[in-house]
Amino acid sequence: MMVQAPSQQSLVLETLAHVPSLAHAVYGGIQDELKSRLEHHQLMAGWSKRRAHFSADLEASLSRLLNLAAEGKDPLARDRQVIHSDSLSLSLVDENQALKDVAIAHVITTIEDSTRAELHQLGNFFGALRGIARPLKSDNPLRAAVFAHALSRAIEGVDLDADGRYKLMRIAALPLARQLQPIFTLLCRELRQAQLSGMLQSHGSAVKESDLRMRQFKALNQNPQAPNTTLDEVALLLDAVTRPHQLDEVVSPRLGPGAPGSAKGGDLLSRLYDQILADTSLQPQLKVLMGRLQVAIVRLSRLDVTLLKRQDHPTWLLLNRIAAHGAGYRNADDPGLLAFLQLVDRSIQPLIAAEQPAASQFKQALVEVERYIREQAEQHSQPSTGALERLDREQQRQEWQRLLREQLQHQLDDANAGKLMRRFLLGPWVEVIAQAMVQFGRESEQAALYVDLVDGLLHSVQPHADDVARQRLRARLPQLVQSLEQGMDSISLPPLQRQAFMNELMRQHGRVLRGLPADETVATDSAPRRPALTPEEVLQQLLAERESQLPSRWAHERVDRGQLPTVPIGLFADERSPDAKVALQQWINGMEIGNWYHLFIKSEWVTAQIAWISDSGQLFLFVSQLPDDRHSLTRGALEQLVVNGLITMLEPEPLLQRAIGTLMQDLEQQR
């Protein structure tokens, strides 16, 4: 009897059969870890409430994803929604979401470290089934991310805050990885028994990283000083390698080794440019344009003595910028890339046509390229400009409320306002003003109207000496009340709280219009005192005060950055270190519109370009190659990604520096 060959469906279904035991084992691993370490005692309360359901939740979450994979679908596919400029539908990635992403990334890394060989073989098999010469991680329906996402969804049901879920995810990562290792090993054994070893080991070998790319990697890792290598050092090494032993000097003493215009200078430029054009990360179309530009650079080197002395020469900056922007496009026929190629072609034409090009011409071309990149990135942000500006103002809501309360405190101290008036103005009305600032802008007409209304409201309950003044007040009251109602509507003030204030205000206005003080308690010492509040009235006041102090929904979603745990990464490792804090802020402040980044966001790796940075520097918009795929991040979220190594510039090493690194390695080998 013939044994049916393994398929994606059969392997996924076999994995599904192990899900119940896997979920139970992960539950046991969490239990053991929580009980064995005292530092986890804060997690026990939330975990205990839901632990009886955890295994079922994890099993259900995994089963749903794996069933999608068995049907040939991507289990982690997500819907892309068009963002409309007239709404706040643009999602905000805050510290909560960033912390969740950090936890998922940790689980993925733990699984991959434990099952790297098995995942590689399974990935090759699934890639071969689909006819993919070089499979990506996303081609594997059993990749680590699938199990990390399932675990995250199961832990979302646990009654813990973002920090607690983060810690619980890290605890669960190791038992999950340990359970997956024998499952993946079994699947790979079955594939080998089916005589599919070739698909497991050699598939994809036809398309390998080039020797140059490997040399670039080694140059950056084996020689830590390579990124700081100067052109002068390259010239000296080139001179040492190529100088004939029988000659002490073959170039003019006036020019010196490697100087422009000398034989060695021409050799250095030629070799350096060969490395640039051989760079595998450079788009082929850009290589063609840079190849055409080489003749202009050679002409410039004959006159400009700084070309091979300064790495910040406009010529090299132009090449670096072109290469870095081109790296953001995966597809050669991407409309954005084609438009960029046309711009570069137009910008370098005057350089190629010039018999004696000058550095200033290269600088002008650089300015044109920089302006184009920035303008294109800003155009991508336009559909979300209104939403982004409002989201940015949301980040400042609490600070604005604090400042408003401080200002009103001083104003009310001098106004001798009653307790209810103080409570209303310092509570709900501060929220009304802040809401107008968020919705329409800090200097908007609506916000100014609500600020000015404070003066009008306080004046309306002051004694009015004569009938003329009282008649003027009577004429102003309808507009005053209408503005108050409009403001209370803007924050959806609860009806009971609203009615209590308006009734009291109406009573005070009635007294003022009769020539009496607004509050009878200050009329005369012999005036009858207000009756004591009933228990029901006391309770209503307490509820009203509580409602007035509730912050906006945005405040509930924020997380104290100081409480966020981090994984030590390089210079940013120690949050208490002043140097680490400075380095972190400098890294973020160095981000520029138009730059491309690779970042882990909303539980997946994406390549996206910065299209907008708020004036406050607290909000960033990233847009991927699909214009509708956009992500707004708070500064706190970015800090979490940087500290945990989950964001990097797409081209961290400039094109010139990579060329220098590989050239230095070649020359070292020739010595």
CATH number, domain of 579, equals: 2.30.30.140
Long-range contacts of 257-263 (CB under 8 A, 24+ apart): 258/231, 258/232, 258/234, 258/308, 259/305, 259/308, 260/301, 260/302, 260/303, 260/304, 260/305, 260/307, 260/308, 261/301, 261/302, 261/305
Residue finishing a domain among 201, 223, 238: 201
To which residue do tokens 């184009």 refer? 372
Per DSSP, the three-state class of 400 is helix
**Same domain flag for 356 and 445:** no
- Phi, psi (deg, nearest 5) at residue 607: -110, 120
Residues 6 or more apart whose CB falls under 8 angstroms from that of 555 comprise: 397, 398
Tell whether 131 is covered by a domain: yes
Token duo for residue 76: 């982690």
**Same domain flag for 227 and 141:** no
Tell whether 30 is covered by a domain: yes
Residues 6 or more apart whose CB falls under 8 angstroms from that of 572 comprise: 566, 580, 583, 584, 587, 642, 643
**Same domain flag for 116 and 33:** yes
**Same domain flag for 304 and 422:** no
Token duo for residue 661: 């690194």
**Same domain flag for 413 and 551:** yes
The domain containing residue 441 runs over which residues?
398-521+533-556
**Same domain flag for 219 and 307:** yes
| CA distance linking residue 377 with residue 369, whole number of Å | 12
Tell whether 392 is covered by a domain: no
Tell whether 21 is covered by a domain: yes
**Same domain flag for 616 and 545:** no
Residue finishing a domain among 151, 175, 201: 201
| CA distance linking residue 405 with residue 555, whole number of Å | 17
| CA distance linking residue 471 with residue 171, whole number of Å | 72
Amino acid identity, residue 614?
A: S
**Same domain flag for 324 and 451:** no
Nearest to 444 by CA among 409, 400, 485, 478: 400
Do residues 600 and 647 make contact, with C-beta atoms less than 8 angstroms apart? yes
Token duo for residue 369: 């390229």
User: Which residues is 610 bridged to in the sheet?
Assistant: 622
**Same domain flag for 489 and 583:** no
- Phi, psi (deg, nearest 5) at residue 136: -95, 170
pTM over 0.85: no
Please work out, in degrees rounded to the nearest 5, the angle formed at the alpha carbon of residue 555 by the alpha carbons of 553 and 559: 125
Tell whether 391 is covered by a domain: no
| Domains contained in the chain, number | 4
Per DSSP, the three-state class of 629 is coil
What is the enclosing helix (H) or strand (E) of 512?
helix 495-513
Nearest to 391 by CA among 275, 501, 560, 554: 554
| CA distance linking residue 665 with residue 671, whole number of Å | 10
Chain length of the chain? 671
Question: Which pLDDT belongs to residue 571?
Answer: 53
**Same domain flag for 245 and 350:** yes
Mean pLDDT by 10 residues, the chain (671 residues): 69 93 93 84 86 92 92 73 39 76 87 88 80 70 91 90 88 94 91 67 42 42 47 62 42 39 63 85 86 90 85 88 84 86 92 91 92 82 66 78 87 76 89 89 89 89 84 89 91 88 87 80 45 54 42 29 36 66 86 86 80 82 73 84 83 74 73 63
Question: Which pLDDT belongs to residue 621?
Answer: 84
**Same domain flag for 342 and 309:** yes
Return the axis-axis angle of helices 635-643 and 95-114, rounded to nearest 10°: 20
Handedness of CA 649, 654, 655, 658 (dihedral sign): negative
Among left, alpha and beta (phi > 0; psi -120 to 50; other), residue 645 is left
Per DSSP, the three-state class of 154 is helix
Do residues 650 and 598 make contact, with C-beta atoms less than 8 angstroms apart? yes
**Same domain flag for 515 and 581:** no
Tell whether 298 is covered by a domain: yes
Alpha carbon 529 to chain centroid distance? 60
Tell whether 390 is covered by a domain: no
Question: Which pLDDT belongs to residue 388?
Answer: 66
Tell whether 1 is covered by a domain: no
